[in-house]
Amino acid sequence: MEECELCGSPVSAPYTVLVEGVELRVCAKCAKGKKVMNRPASARSAFASSRGSAPKQQKVREEDLDVVENYGGIIKKARESMGIPIKVLGEMINEKETLLLRIEEQKTLPSIGLARKLERALNIKLLAQPDVAEGAQAQRGQGSLSIGDFVG
């Protein structure tokens, strides 16, 4: 049985928390509100019930994500299989019906935030990491034709 490094009470499965840059092994009570580095598996449910804020442990940064190419079809298919009109979908995620229609027709690319809302509402996958990260961008800038070259 270890002792909590903050309050000294005996703790069988201590949390590892980060306090001012120092890792401490503490009891569940002291771990509350701290930056938890590691938590005992047995205490997971206690944490799950107290979480109210958005999950922060996303491995992929949002700016690294791309909306998939055929997003419109995916959204439409999922929506129709759920049997909900586009108007209702708009109410579900608090977006304009006209915007969603344009997205389904692939006239408008949804923002990452909106794509996430659609993913959750329809239980689909709209965001993916782009396959070509570097290299493709390096080629841009070559052949710099301006519009003026075509106006004759």
Using CB under 5 A, list all residues that contact Zn ion: 4, 6-7, 26-27, 30
Name the minimum Å distance from CB 102 to Zn ion.
54
Taking the complex as a whole, the smallest distance from the CB of residue 28 to Zn ion amounts, in Å, to 8
From the CB of 32, what's the least distance to Zn ion, in Å?
Answer: 10
Distance separating alpha carbons of residues 27 and 31, to the nearest angstrom: 6
Tell me the DSSP string of 20-78: TTEEEEE-HHHHTTSEEEE--GGGHHHHHHH--SPP---SS-GGG-EE-TTHHHHHHHH
Residue among 2 and 62 whose Cβ is closer to Zn ion: 2
> Whose Cβ is closer to Zn ion: residue 24's or residue 78's?
24
Q: Report how far residue 1's alpha carbon sits from residue 42's, in angstroms, rounded to the nearest whole number.
A: 15
